[in-house]
A and B are shown apart, each in its own frame.
Chain A
Amino acid sequence: MTLTETPTERDLEAGFEATVARNERIEPRDWMPEGYRKTLVRQIAQHAHSEIIGMQPEGNWIGRAPSLRRKAILLAKVQDEAGHGLYLYSAAETLGVSRLELTELLIAGKQKYSSIFNYPTLSYADVGTIGWLVDGAAICNQVPLCRTSYGPYGRAMIRVCKEESFHQRQGYELLATMMRGTEEQRAMVQESVDRFWWPALMMFGPPDDASPNTAQSMAWGIKRHTNDELRQKFVDMSVPQAEALGVTLPDPELRWNEERGHHDFGQPDWDEFMEGVKGNGPCNAQRMAHRRRAHEDGAWVREAATAYAARQRAVSA
């Protein structure tokens, strides 16, 4: 092969961009710009961390579920979150990083997870509200990601979205059941919705005029909608659901705008959001300490399984 036949960086980049422009997928061993790879690793890893940390707020209630039926549902849900984390770590590993390395970055506090999981779960109604609003917001973010340009990420998201639908519906059904109960139970649901509505809106991130990264990610086909578009979609979806449930969403500015064909709504407290991202949210320290302890307490199990596997190989050799 002569020198002229070796593809230059520019040729490779043109090939990459043409693939993305044709709406085809980039696969693990394809050439890709370093910025694209790094953006994906950050996004997928922190998404995976969110799923894993996300087991804690609800796991808190497994031992105190009000019935065997609710306990079985909650166990299945929390197990799904672990599964979602594993699908995503597996997708991140196709980009040349190891799961253990990513776990170590999380435990060292260098990579983050979604701030929504830094809010405490104070009553069993929170299990329902998290399913309805938090997983509902996640669905808005995740459905477009099924068509993301990176193949392994999109395929992981398809699996996640199928299971997320169960999460949302079990949550809504739980709340609907409580709303048919006593006055006290209805008050628990409203109190829970009051606490989670604004944090759920924050899940979509700062407004578009404060998120310049979005443009690059959209050009690369990693992202398909802006933060504000997704937030609007979520509000429009949630209003009739809240009405059917019989709860009030705690936003005095929330009203239908005939002209826009969408609901107008207020802005969440972005200072509170930033405090959470910086590590000063209500449960940041507790979540991280728990994750670190689980990793360290599990070390002997990982070592023992490795030793057992080595011994079995030696015996059969």
Chain B
Amino acid sequence: MSDQSTGSELSAEGGHGAVPLKDVPTGEGVTPLEPEWPLYEVFVRGKRGLNHVHVGSLHAADDRMALLHARDVYTRRNEGVSIWVVRADAITASSPDEKDPMFAPSGDKVYRHPTFYDIPDNVPHM
């Protein structure tokens, strides 16, 4: 190899072929000059009888465009019968830092589970 130093900065983990991973800027998280369309989260109902499930996100200028883009990006192969889109900034989420205190109330209540109760083996259908 003619250039060992550059060669050492390359890896195949680009998925579609080797790309350099060192000395490549990652972006600063700064707002670009051109205003970007808002981010929407997309939920798809796979078939009747199932809940809508989060499948990803996309950018769109408005709600209707978000629905059409969601159809084209996330349901090209009959993946869904119904789509919800919601502006990402309209979602309120629990904080991962509060994981323990947030879910602590359910942690010590084993009596909420059916397996907490001993039922004799000769009792059927329970």
- Tell me the A residues contacting B by CB distance below 8 Å: 27, 29-31, 37-39, 41-43, 45-47, 50-51, 54, 76, 79-80, 83, 86-88, 90-91, 93, 96-102, 104-105, 110-117, 137-138, 141-142, 145, 155-157, 160, 163, 202-206, 210-214, 217, 222-223, 227, 230, 270-271, 273-274, 277-278, 299, 302, 305-306, 308-309, 312-313
Contact = CB atoms under 8 A, between A and B. Distances in A.
A114 B17 contact: yes
A206 to B, nearest CB: 5
A80 B13 CA distance: 20
Contact of B1 (A90, A203, A271): A271
A163 B73 CA distance: 12
Given A110-B25, A309-B61, A309-B62, A47 B32 contact: no
A114 B20 CA distance: 9
Contact of A113 (B2, B8, B10, B19): B19
B58 A227 contact: no
Q: Which 6 A-B pairs have the closest CB atoms?
A: A114-B17, A205-B18, A205-B12, A305-B61, A97-B27, A203-B17
A79 B8 CA distance: 34
A30 B98 CA distance: 11
Contacts of B39: 93
B16 A141 contact: yes
B96 A138 contact: no
Interface of B: 1-4, 6-22, 24-32, 34-37, 39, 56-59, 61-62, 65, 72-73, 76-77, 93, 95-97
B26 to A, nearest CB: 4
Contact of B20 (A96, A112, A137): A112
Contact of A213 (B1, B9, B59, B93): B9
Contact of B36 (A41, A98, A105, A160): A98
Nearest to A138: B16
B18 A227 contact: yes
Contacts of A101: 27-30, 32
Nearest to A115: B17
B12 A97 contact: no
Nearest to B93: A29
Among the interface residues B25, B26, B39, B95, which one has the most CB atoms of the partner chain A within 10 A? B26
Contacts of A86: 58, 73
Given A97-B27, A112-B24, A306 B35 contact: yes
A50 B17 contact: yes
B2 A211 contact: no
A27 B96 contact: yes
A47 B37 contact: no
Contact of A214 (B11, B35, B97): B11
Given A46-B19, A83-B73, A227-B18, A100 B61 contact: no
A112 B3 contact: no
Nearest to B27: A97
B15 A47 contact: yes
B16 A47 contact: yes
B35 A105 contact: no
A26 to B, nearest CB: 10
Contacts of B61: 302, 305-306, 308-309
Contact of A206 (B16, B18, B30): B18
A204 B24 contact: no
A98 B35 CA distance: 11
Contacts of B13: 43, 141, 145, 205, 214, 217, 222-223
A138 B15 CA distance: 6
B14 A43 contact: yes
A145 B14 CA distance: 10
A87 B11 contact: no
A176 B112 CA distance: 61
B37 A87 contact: no
Contact of B26 (A42, A210, A227, A308): A42
Contact of B37 (A88, A91, A137, A306): A306
Among the interface residues B14, B22, B93, which one has the most CB atoms of the partner chain A within 10 A? B14
